Amino acid sequence: MDEIISTLKEFGMTEYEAKIYITLLRHQPSNGNTIAKLSGVPAPKVYGALQKMREQGLVFTVSGGDNGKKVRYSPLPYKELLESKKDTFMNHLEFLDHSLEEVSTRSDVEWSELFLIEGYSSSMEVVQTAISECESSVIISCWKREFDVLKELLLKTHQRGIKVVTLIFDDEQNDVPWNAFTHYKEGVALGRHRGEFSLVVDNRKAILLQSLEDAPHSVVSSHPVMVSTTRNYIRHDIYVNRMIKDFEETITDHYGNDLKNLINDF
């Protein structure tokens, strides 16, 4: 009974009104004195509550007895009550869905999604969700460990018509149908990326995962600066590695096989 009363209060009734409504469902029609005795609502409060409930259409009066001069009360049938609440709820839901969408599209660019995900598994779940929900493009740089987890999902994403670009630090990608690149694998050049994972979806969200530390974690952001910086970081890494592949002999002659004469500058 307490739970029913609590739920009716969530629907907008006061505690007294909820008790009166339940009493009338059990004993209808009833006069004010009977309602007070059966509901536990103090008699002085019953008539005020009944008046408000009449105005809300929750109860209505029934004349009878004493030549029709004795007023008794009956409740709005509970199915009608629930239907009215359902209609009201759906109207409010539709209003909020439309209005909040409008509000969100006008949001200040100084506000953005930015949060930290603790743990490797949780971070990878966020990555998979972001890829599953993407609408136009995915660009990733990662290690084979993460790529193997995501490969099937990326294949399905590509089949949906989504543009996919990947850069893998430690593996060739000869069997994928999208633009796939491999990082130069010598020494310091590859070591700088240890534990690193970068993702941009739809040019709207960036996810950066660091998995080497004792507490692996990721940062998720929709801020335009974070997104564009991450996207350009991946792109520039791809550009450099394409040039190394196309002109490897010339570049390694100049900078060394592990590119240390370039990378160790800073």
Tens-digit pLDDT profile for residues 214-223: 788 999 998 8
* Residue 76: DSSP 8-state: P
CA separation, residue 11 to residues 44, 87, 88 (Å) = 24, 12, 10
CA distance 159 to 176: 11
pLDDT of 105? 62
pTM of whole model > 0.75?
Answer: no
CA 1 from chain centre, in angstroms, equals 35
Tokens of 199: 């993702």
CA distance 145 to 9: 53
CATH class as words, domain 2-80: mainly alpha
Fold of the 114-263 domain: Endonuclease; Chain A (3.30.870)
Domain spans, the chain: 2-80, 114-263
Banded pLDDT at 109 (limits 50, 70, 90):
very low
pLDDT of 188? 62
> Cβ(164)–Cβ(233) under 8 Å?
no
Average pLDDT of span 20-42: 91
